[in-house]
Amino acid sequence: MGDEATILHADLDSFYASVEQRDDPALRGRPVLVGMGVVLAASYEAKAFGVRTPMGVHQARALCPRAVVVPPRMSAYSAASKAVFEIFRDTTPIVEGISIDEAFLEVAGLRKIRGTPREIAARLRVRVRNEVGLPITVGVARTKFLAKVASAVGKPDGLLVVPPGEELAFLHPLPIERLWGVGPVTSGKLRDQRIHTVGHVARIGEAGLVAILGAHAGRHLHALAHNRDPRRVRVGHRRKSIGSQCALGRRPRPFAEIDATLAALADRVTRRMRGANRPGRTVTLRLRFDDFGRATRSRSLLKATMQTRAILEAARALLAEARPLIETRGLTLVGLAVSNLEGEGAVQMPLPFDDPYDDQLDIAVDAVRDRFGSAALTRAASLGRDLGPSVPILPD
């Protein structure tokens, strides 16, 4: 860890909702919900009423009756993200994208030509506002972990620098939920032990945390509570998974419709895999239920593949395993992701070479969709069905 805070975490504020407010002046200053059956994003005006993601739209409307609900426009969000990342890369060559709306930037060594990290962050925020029309919050610290915490504390539309030597004084009064990896389950375990702040976590010691949470989680949180995070900002880090998810709404859906949605997601995900030439081995099904609970099922294949049929068969097997949960708890969102991605040219051809049909079919379908649009070809099972918006996998 260096002597100066040079890591920036830049995070667009309520990204989807902010894009909608930017593009439609009538929405500015009003509570906005982006989504169909499930809220994918909420403006800060809506969050003030207690609306959170991934809350159902019906529940969100009950909390905020005056909210305006708009369907997601992924092409608009993608264009805005691209414009913002161009500003990131113009600010420093060392940019590590985390998601569509956030990134880490390393600005060490730029003082003579760009100024201090605080000055660089301030100019970045002005450029994003003036050139893209969106609010962005930037946290600055010596570690990636603390820079991300700083941006979260600095929201909305803020700039927060944590000076060297003052990190623990800033970090320790914060609630335990600010630590990476502390979700509802871990938070409950810690609070049951009267551990409420990061400072409490730091003082309990590693052995105590291991006894409560297990070896991996205990050591991880102990290190973070002392701001120990050796990771550096990495350029050109290749994504670990390719996925997409679809909000289904709150009304009951027949299993055949869920299967059709899954097939459409498999088409979308494998097309992106082939576009990036990144075969994968692990298929993951993500489900979100009517009670806001979640379930994840995964299966690893023997060989990496980009074939739609192979990925879909694995996904359908996982869906069949989860069918009892779906039928008893109701399903509001389904997601599909493929991980353990390999590099270009990493596909090992099966022996004997007796199944060229799938590859040829995938190539032909991709060519038609590339030329005439994604809707040019669709599965028969999807005809006449409202599959809902298909969006990139969101973090759990």
Catalytic residue positions, numbered:
102
Biggest CA-to-CA distance, the chain: 65
Contact 200, 221 (CB under 8 A): no
DSSP 216-278: HHHHHHHHHHTT---PPP-SSPPPSEEEEEEE--SS---HHHHHHHHHHHHHHHHHHHHHHT-
Contact 286, 241 (CB under 8 A): no
Q: Cα-flanking dihedrals φ and ψ of residue 99, to 5°?
A: -155, -170
Structure tokens at 124: 């970045």
In the block, tokens 């389950």 appear at 185
345: left (phi over 0), alpha (psi -120 to 50) or beta: left
Contact 114, 8 (CB under 8 A): no
Nearest to 2 by CA among 115, 148, 141: 141
Structure tokens at 71: 């369907």
Structure tokens at 282: 């692990």
